């Protein structure tokens, strides 16, 4: 970047910053205690992640084909950059997306407003690389936010700190692969942080209540000065939750594409991606509430985040239900991703699985929503969650005649199949509980037994 361009950029950013005003005092919500801020999230348990952008036209992953080019993607950076010229999702119906999430039993949504490529799915005043400069022309984020508000569905915004398109983030005269991790040593870097502040201010003041800001900072996150952006978010929307991918702990951890082996606590490593999949440290099987650290695992239905017509390796409905149960049994949330098509629809394979999960949740949702990790951990046959004096056993391996579980200290007052509230006979000797069960599993996915304790 030459000196003249740099001076112009500085002037433009300073002018924009002075023009960007926070909402009036009456519009800023007062923060509650940390427990109050996260209570809705702790109870929701299950959300929809949405990765969508012009990259769906090419059936490639979001951003990575230009950051780490590979013959597998079969697309050049020039071709990738030209995709917005053809992006026109005329079948996009945000109300239908929200209805599908409701049918799946999902209680919040997180949408990619900007991925690492820098393309904005909202009408930002500070870039031309955006949805309103495509043939579609409309502000996708505005339409989705309106649909979520109408349906009272909490909506969060994924926002990528990495930005391959901004000259302050990296030298854009070079391929993205040469500087995709950012170049904070360049004098233009402060301009990029100003750009982030401008765009986050837009997202937090133009689209109503924002449930979550979901950062995805990749490596060396300290370079983003996360405190600056935490303070901005807390000032503009104090109730908004923040994940842990901008160099600060945030409100919750975000393991990606894996479920921790043990319940995350203050003594286990923080999780912000895929790098800790096999590095969980030993922790108490059932920690004290004050030791628990809030977390959410994000997962794909097939193998890619974005729409990919060639990726047919779909997880089964049963597998996804059991993943949801596994997550809930360790106190976490499950953020399940969909990658909409270039036309703006959600593919039938995803819809089928989401509705299958929803059908199970209609019967068994009490064992997931509003629960925390259960008192029985490490069992082969079952997973457990707990709500008040009710312990829910999610049976993965159906026994013949009798289900035996060890380690339950409270005395059991009653046992029943959650579906239909059908009582079951049981005996309890010390910490050994034996329950008489039907010959066949009532639910082929996961059968839930509700134990009322004294």
Model pLDDT for residues 130-164, shown as the tens digit of each residue = 999 999 999 999 999 999 999 999 999 999 999 99
Is 219 contained in some domain?
yes
pLDDT (0 to 100) of residue 10: 46
DSSP 21-46: -PPPGGGSPPP--HHHHHHHHHHH-E
CA-based diameter of the chain, in Å?
82
Judge whether residue 32 has pLDDT over 90: no
**236-271: pLDDT as tens digits:** 999 999 999 999 999 999 999 999 999 999 888 888
Calculate the CA 90 to chain-centre distance. Answer: 26
Neighbours of 76 (CB within 10 A): 13
Is 25 contained in some domain?
no
Where do the DSSP E strands lie in 42-176? 46-50, 109-114, 155-159
Which of 338, 355, 371 terminates a domain? The answer is 371
User: How many residues would you count in the chain?
Assistant: 454
Nearest to 218 by CA among 243, 245, 200: 245
**What average pLDDT score do residues 273-277 get?**
59
User: Rounded CA gap, 369 and 297, in Å?
Assistant: 16
Assess whether 227 and 330 both reside in one domain: yes
Residues in CB range of 178: below 8 A, 6 or more apart: 170, 171
Q: Which of the residue ranges 269-273, 350-354, 381-385 would you say has the lowest mean pLDDT?
A: 269-273
Number of domains in the chain: 2
Cβ-contact 125, 132 below 8 angstroms: no
Cβ-contact 119, 84 below 8 angstroms: yes
Which of 317, 348, 371 terminates a domain? The answer is 371
**74-120: pLDDT as tens digits:** 999 999 999 999 999 999 999 999 999 999 999 999 999 999 999 99
**119-132: pLDDT as tens digits:** 999 999 999 999 99
User: Rounded CA gap, 204 and 207, in Å?
Assistant: 7
Which of 349, 371, 393 terminates a domain? The answer is 371
Judge whether residue 282 has pLDDT over 90: no
Judge whether residue 417 has pLDDT over 90: yes
**What average pLDDT score do residues 281-287 get?**
70
% of the chain exceeding 70 in pLDDT: 90
**What average pLDDT score do residues 319-332 get?**
98
Domain that residue 412 falls in: 374-453
Is 375 exposed, middle or buried (CB count within 10 Å of its CB: 0-12, 13-18, 19+)? middle
Is 14 contained in some domain?
no
Q: What is the pTM of this model?
A: 0.92
Average pLDDT value for the chain: 91
Assess whether 97 and 40 both reside in one domain: yes
């Amino acid at each position: 970047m030459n000196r003249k361009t740099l001076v112009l950029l500085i002037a433009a950013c300073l002018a924009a910053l002075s023009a960007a005003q926070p909402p009036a005092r009456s519009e800023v919500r007062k923060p509650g205690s940390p427990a109050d801020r996260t209570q809705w999230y702790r109870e929701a348990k299950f959300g929809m992640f949405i990765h969508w952008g012009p990259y769906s036209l090419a059936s490639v992953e979001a951003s990575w084909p230009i950051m780490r080019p590979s013959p597998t993607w079969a697309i050049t950076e020039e071709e990738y950059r030209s995709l917005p010229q053809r992006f026109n999702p005329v079948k996009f119906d945000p109300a239908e997306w929200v209805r599908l999430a409701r049918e799946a039993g999902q209680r919040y949504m997180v949408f990619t407003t900007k991925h690492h490529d820098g393309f904005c799915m909202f009408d930002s005043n500070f870039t031309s690389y955006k949805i309103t400069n495509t043939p579609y022309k409309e502000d996708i984020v505005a339409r989705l936010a309106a649909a979520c508000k109408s349906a009272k569905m909490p909506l969060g915004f994924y926002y990528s700190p990495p930005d391959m398109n901004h000259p302050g983030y990296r030298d854009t005269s070079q391929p993205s692969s040469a500087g995709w991790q950012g170049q904070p040593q360049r004098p233009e870097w402060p301009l990029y942080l100003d750009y982030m502040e401008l765009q986050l201010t837009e997202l937090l003041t133009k689209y109503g209540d924002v449930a979550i800001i979901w950062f995805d900072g990749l490596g060396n996150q300290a370079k983003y000065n996360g405190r600056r952006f935490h303070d901005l978010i807390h000032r503009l929307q104090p109730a908004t939750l923040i994940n842990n991918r901008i160099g600060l702990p945030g409100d919750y951890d975000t393991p990606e594409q894996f479920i921790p082996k043990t319940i995350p606590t203050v003594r286990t490593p923080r999780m912000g991606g895929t790098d800790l999949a096999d590095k969980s440290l030993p922790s108490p099987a059932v920690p004290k509430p004050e030791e628990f650290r809030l977390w959410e695992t994000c997962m794909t239905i097939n193998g890619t985040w974005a729409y990919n017509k060639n990726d047919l390796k779909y997880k089964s409905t049963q597998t996804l239900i059991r993943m949801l149960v596994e997550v809930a049994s360790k106190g976490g949330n499950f953020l399940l991703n969909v990658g909409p098509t270039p036309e703006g629809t959600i593919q039938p394979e995803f819809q089928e699985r989401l509705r299958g999960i929803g059908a199970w949740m209609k019967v068994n949702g009490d064992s997931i929503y509003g629960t925390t990790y259960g008192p029985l951990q490490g069992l082969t046959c079952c997973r457990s969650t707990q709500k008040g004096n009710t312990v829910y056993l999610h049976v993965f391996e159906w026994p013949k005649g009798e289900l035996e579980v060890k380690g339950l200290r409270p005395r059991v007052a009653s046992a029943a199949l959650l579906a239909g509230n059908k009582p079951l006979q049981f005996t309890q000797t010390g910490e050994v509980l034996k329950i008489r069960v039907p010959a066949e599993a009532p639910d082929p996915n996961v059968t839930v037994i509700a134990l009322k304790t004294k």
